[in-house]
Structure 1
Amino acid sequence: FRPGAGGSAAARALRAHRPEFLLHFSAPPGSEYQVTMWLPYLERIGRPFFVMVREPEFLAPIAAATSAPVVYCPTLKAMDEALVPGLKVAFYVNHGAKNSHCIRFSQLTHVQIHHGDSDKAPSANPVTALFDRNFVAGRAAIDRYARAGVDIPAEKFVVVGRPQVESIEVRRAPATGLANPTVLYTPTWTGHHADANYCSLPVGETIVRGLLARGATVILRAHPYTGQNPASARQLARLTELLAADRARTGRQHVFGAAASRELSLVDCVNRSDALVSDVSGVISDYLYSGKPYAVTDMAGDGDRFVERFPLAGSGYVLRRDAGNLDEVLGLLLDTDPKAAARWGTRAHYLGDFPVESYAEAFLAAARRELEPGWNPPAPRAADAMTPSPTA
């Protein structure tokens, strides 16, 4: 924006575009994936919109991923110009501090859509209560806020599923006893705070060596923020060395580095794999859609309390903090999978019970309703509110 007489050229172009909604985005460097995962679905809403970024480094990568206008608004004055008449809704994909700059525009309906669903502490952030609507993947998210003591009125929640999983192939029949399985390993990062550090990279070498000993082909896909922690970066580099050496020795086509994180999407990685080993993260919720087995690392050392804190782990197999039970977990994960049947109930609870052939329509329909004048969602029926949540 370079404001001049009659407003900036960008503001004039936006008025001509006549957007009905915007996506507001502010985040640390390297976070553009939070937006790009949503762009195909925002485009499928079928209404004109634009993306407002608050940091200049996001302008190019996000503009390359969409045909919608992408506008850099560094100041509140620039935001004032960008919020042209006709806008009805603002979507948000995280809890960035600068979101408050946009929430102040009370003429808009403010909708938090998140960039993943998990049992992590940040997924029950009290800041969510600021938004007019909170689009969540399933009833499990609503329960998560209640369990954390975050009081959000029921009418603010809208269950829309997780549209990004629509292309994940669903495996209905258990696949057990595979001689040469492909296992996806997705260590998360250390987080900004100690209560959000679920990173298993300190025992990552033990995990990878255990998978190799089982004859597994490994897809190693690390969190984009891993490099922010020097120790994590070194641990990840060691894992790539192990996999490269094993690939040279055995010919097994392990996937790691850029091949796993940029050349393949997460959906590609899920579809190529037979099982998952993951830390507490949104990857597990996405993987749950496939129906395939997963193991979850208990890096806080919660022991018997782990499933209570992270209920999604109840339909998986829990790997202890020291990975001392790795052989047992891999046997359950790859050989017998006794929790296969239980996962389908968990899947509906976490990801909504929507038809596979039209799964993303739940989000699209909910978004379009928010754009209708005077729309207010009905309060949940008493029977719905009292239905007990499925247990894993």
Structure 2
Amino acid sequence: MPAGPSPRRGAPWFALAALLCLFILQFIGALLPNGPLLCAATAGGLALDLSLRHWQPGLLTVMTRLHGDEAVRQLLRDLLIVIGLAHLSGIDTVPRLVLVGGLLACYAAHFACRALGVVVRRTRTLPIVTRNIDTSALRLSPAPPRPLIRPGRRMPLFAVPGTTGLMATVLTDSAGWGLLGVGVSLALFAGSAAYLATWLLPGKRPPDEQRMLAWFRDWLAEYRPEVGIYFSGGNGTAYQANMWLSTLAALDGNAVVVLRERGMVQQIAATDVPIVCLPRVAHLMLLEQSSLKMLLHPANAPKTSQILRVPSIKHAFTNHGESDKLSSCNPYAKVYDQVWVAGPAARKRYALADVGVDDRDVVEVGRPQLAPIRPYAGPPDPAGPVSVLYAPTWEGWTDAPGNTSVLLAGENIVRALLADPRVRLLYKPHPMTGTVNPRAGEADARIRALIARANATPRRPADAERGAVTVPTGRGTRGTPPRAARAPLAAELARRTAELNELTARAFRPGADEVERMIRQTAPPPGRAEAVAAATEAWRTAFWAAQPARAHLILTGSRPDIYSCFNQADLLISDVSSVVADYLASTKPYAVVNTSGLSEADFHAANPTTRAATVLGPDAHGIPALLDGVLDPAQDAFAAERTRLKEYLLGPSQPSSRVRFQQAVHALCAAADARRARQARLAGGGTELPIPRSTGHPASR
């Protein structure tokens, strides 16, 4: 059953109604006239406006889009109190005009500050954004305080003294209070405008475009990058590049990450590799004169064609995972110099797809990032739970029925697993679930609700509080420790989380902009990468140890990572996706859900990654037998086939994938060097003809 509606859903409507009612009461108080009613409604409206910044910021965004922003609301509030002041007080005309003039000056200073804020933001929008690079030579300055640059925070806050003074004048018939309050507000507005203007002075103004580009050229000449990752994408796609960061960092030679979207700079995971964001094509072309020899492309994007214009750089398409989906053999791949795949399966996939990728340009490099996945160590302990990882993929851009099992089979699968007392469910949905089809997001929410209810209802009385000792094993912990014993484990997890956050978190003060973040994200100290790796491994150990062994888990976000989940799982249930191919590195049992409408035979034929898998239909029939095979190897009919399929999908174990990947990098860099040498000879008057078409990397044959 879906969860009931949240009581917080009506909060925005209640807040909007309350704000409108207070304006109406203020209007009535001004016309009657009624001083206490006018002041009470004014104070209530101002207090509600200030509290909405923390309580309902989304409502303020909607009102701003409807041209009811903070300045309009405050202007209406002040106008009504001035009307009331004219009706209620016996103040002379001159003081009254001074009060109105002071209010107008406050608004003039506010809009001047607002205009300055736009100018300052534009000057602080740099042509190049970096991370992990020393920018001290640029002499960048921190961002202005948040209230100065955000008018939505400045206007109601700075208006409090003026509005309070006017209310006091209404109640006391003394113009002094109003003049004092308006004077304080005017000083705040004018002072903020003057202070913000200092960011346009040479001492705080960021470098202009020419100086910034000169600095970047100098950095390229000094650092001399050779290999990098090129990535362009929207929110939620950074995982496609993040999965290659460890591989990039382990390569010989200087590496770099090249991005195109400013927002992506902070979405890239913790790494010591320098990161540069080049939003404009003209600045991207600076890489042509650099030492960069090759770029890895984990995804196709519209902006990919822009970097392909640089002939001095070789390009290899690595993709962000391999599966039997059509997207794993996209025709766009033929624009790259080479297509790097894991093993023979992908090579055959491209050949069968006939999308224009020459087989000579396909290079088998394995999947070097799968090294942390532990191999199969035998069946799980019959006394402990069977850890089942359900990791469905998302609905995809085409939203085809067979893309994700969440829509048609997810709830049935989860119900069947939760009903089996042998199972401990680890549910890790794809981060983009529901982004194309809202129904997939709704199904995901229902699955989470099922798991939450199952955890709230112990399957047997002993599960609520067991006295078993927690024993570390190759798959994590077996047995559920009592609550008292889990307290130290939770404390250890908190300690490890704080330690890892200190090394990797990018916590910035409110109001920090990209320039200030560049100041703080300078070149990392020596040894930070090793410290992060050690802290990450310690966090994984602490996380799994701290979880009740029989509790079902919903795992979202970047921690724990999918490979850590693989190591905890005894069985994977997934869809046709790269998760299946990666999981086969462990050779542990797995199942694939068929919601495509194909028969089982046709499904196997169309998707070679399912060749060693149990196929589940939308009704999830067969899960009990699947679990029997996990617990009893004698009933596991696919054990030998998984070993063969692993090599077919991921390539041979020797030489290791990391070695093969490094060899492919060296070969493509050598090809880039050879081209540059030929171009230099031709430019010098040589008669050598350009090299014929590449025959590919020797390892690909």
Q: How does the TM-score come out when normalised to structure 1?
A: 0.89
Contact 2:220 2:290 in 1 (8 A): no
Select which of 271, 275, 279 maps to 2:567: 271
Task: Report whether the alignment pairs 1:57 with 2:284.
Answer: no
Match of 1:232 in 2: 440
Contact 1:120 1:196 in 2 (8 A): no
Deviation at 1:129, TM superposition (A): 1.1
Match of 1:137 in 2: 342
Select which of 598, 604, 615 maps to 1:307: 604
Select which of 372, 380, 404 maps to 1:167: 372
Contact 1:154 1:379 in 2 (8 A): no
Match of 1:389 in 2: none
Q: Deviations over 1:32-81 (max 9, x none)?
A: 1111111111111121122111111111132x522222111112112012
1:1-392 mapped onto 2 (5 Å cutoff)? 1=127, 3-4=209-210, 7-62=213-268, 65-171=270-376, 173=378, 180-195=385-400, 197-202=402-407, 203-214=409-420, 215-228=422-435, 229-250=437-458, 251=463, 252-258=550-556, 261-303=557-599, 304-332=601-629, 335=632, 336-355=635-654, 358-372=656-670, 373-374=673-674
Most deviating of 92-101 and 324-333: 324-333
Q: Deviations over 1:162-217 (max 9, x none)?
A: 11111111015456978620000011111101448511112211101111222210
Number of residue pairs the alignment of both structures matches = 379
Q: Residue 191 of structure 1 aligns to a residue in which SS? A: coil
Deviation at 1:238, TM superposition (A): 1.7
Deviation at 1:239, TM superposition (A): 1.6
Deviation at 1:97, TM superposition (A): 1.8
Match of 1:390 in 2: none
* CA–CA distance in structure 1, aligned partners of residues 401 and 251 of structure 2: 34
Contact 1:174 1:337 in 2 (8 A): no
Q: Residue 262 of structure 1 aligns to a residue in which SS? A: coil
Contact 2:667 2:697 in 1 (8 A): no
**1:85/1:240 CA distance change after superposition, 3 Å:** same
Most deviating of 134-143 and 41-50: 41-50
Contact 1:154 1:380 in 2 (8 A): no
Deviation at 1:8, TM superposition (A): 4.2
Contact 1:117 1:141 in 2 (8 A): yes
Deviation at 1:149, TM superposition (A): 2.1
Q: Deviations over 1:108-128 (max 9, x none)?
A: 111111111111110011111
* CA–CA distance in structure 2, aligned partners of residues 35 and 55 of structure 1: 13
* CA–CA distance in structure 1, aligned partners of residues 584 and 313 of structure 2: 34
Most deviating of 1-10 and 29-38: 1-10
Deviation at 1:310, TM superposition (A): 0.5
Q: Deviations over 1:261-297 (max 9, x none)?
A: 4221111100000000001110000110101011101
Most deviating of 205-214 and 364-373: 364-373
Contact 2:363 2:697 in 1 (8 A): no
* CA–CA distance in structure 1, aligned partners of residues 318 and 580 of structure 2: 18
* CA–CA distance in structure 1, aligned partners of residues 449 and 362 of structure 2: 45
Q: Residue 271 of structure 2 aligns to a residue in which SS? A: coil
Q: How does the TM-score come out when normalised to structure 2?
A: 0.51
* CA–CA distance in structure 2, aligned partners of residues 377 and 176 of structure 1: 51
Q: Residue 106 of structure 1 aligns to a residue in which SS? A: coil
Contact 2:585 2:650 in 1 (8 A): yes
Contact 1:113 1:135 in 2 (8 A): yes
Q: Residue 244 of structure 1 aligns to a residue in which SS? A: helix
* CA–CA distance in structure 2, aligned partners of residues 189 and 14 of structure 1: 39
Q: Deviations over 1:88-146 (max 9, x none)?
A: 11110011121111111111111111111111110011111111111110000011111
Most deviating of 196-205 and 163-172: 196-205
Deviation at 1:253, TM superposition (A): 2.1
* CA–CA distance in structure 2, aligned partners of residues 178 and 204 of structure 1: 27
* CA–CA distance in structure 1, aligned partners of residues 217 and 376 of structure 2: 49
- More helix by proportion, 1 or 2? 2
Most deviating of 228-237 and 111-120: 228-237
**1:174/1:359 CA distance change after superposition, 3 Å:** farther
Q: Residue 218 of structure 1 aligns to a residue in which SS? A: strand
Q: Give 1 or 2 for the bigger CA radius of gyration.
A: 2
**1:37/1:379 CA distance change after superposition, 3 Å:** closer
Q: Residue 554 of structure 2 aligns to a residue in which SS? A: coil
Letter in 2 for 1:216: V
Letter in 2 for 1:279: D
Letter in 2 for 1:302: L
Contact 2:299 2:317 in 1 (8 A): yes
Contact 2:395 2:434 in 1 (8 A): no
Letter in 1 for 2:415: R
* CA–CA distance in structure 1, aligned partners of residues 324 and 650 of structure 2: 13
Letter in 2 for 1:340: A
Letter in 2 for 1:99: T
Contact 2:413 2:619 in 1 (8 A): no
Most deviating of 239-248 and 262-271: 239-248
* CA–CA distance in structure 2, aligned partners of residues 283 and 89 of structure 1: 27
* CA–CA distance in structure 1, aligned partners of residues 604 and 451 of structure 2: 31
**1:19/1:212 CA distance change after superposition, 3 Å:** same
Q: Percent identity of the aligned residues?
A: 32
| Structure with more contact order per residue of length (Cα contacts < 8 Å, sep ≥ 6) | 1
Contact 2:387 2:426 in 1 (8 A): yes
* CA–CA distance in structure 1, aligned partners of residues 353 and 619 of structure 2: 28
Q: Residue 371 of structure 1 aligns to a residue in which SS? A: helix
* CA–CA distance in structure 2, aligned partners of residues 13 and 196 of structure 1: 49
Deviation at 1:312, TM superposition (A): 1.1
* CA–CA distance in structure 2, aligned partners of residues 171 and 7 of structure 1: 52
**1:129/1:174 CA distance change after superposition, 3 Å:** farther
**1:31/1:197 CA distance change after superposition, 3 Å:** farther
Letter in 2 for 1:125: N
Letter in 1 for 2:330: N
Q: Name the Cα RMSD after superposition.
A: 2.5
Deviation at 1:369, TM superposition (A): 2.7
Contact 2:379 2:631 in 1 (8 A): no
Q: Which runs of 5+ in 1 are unaligned?
A: 386-392
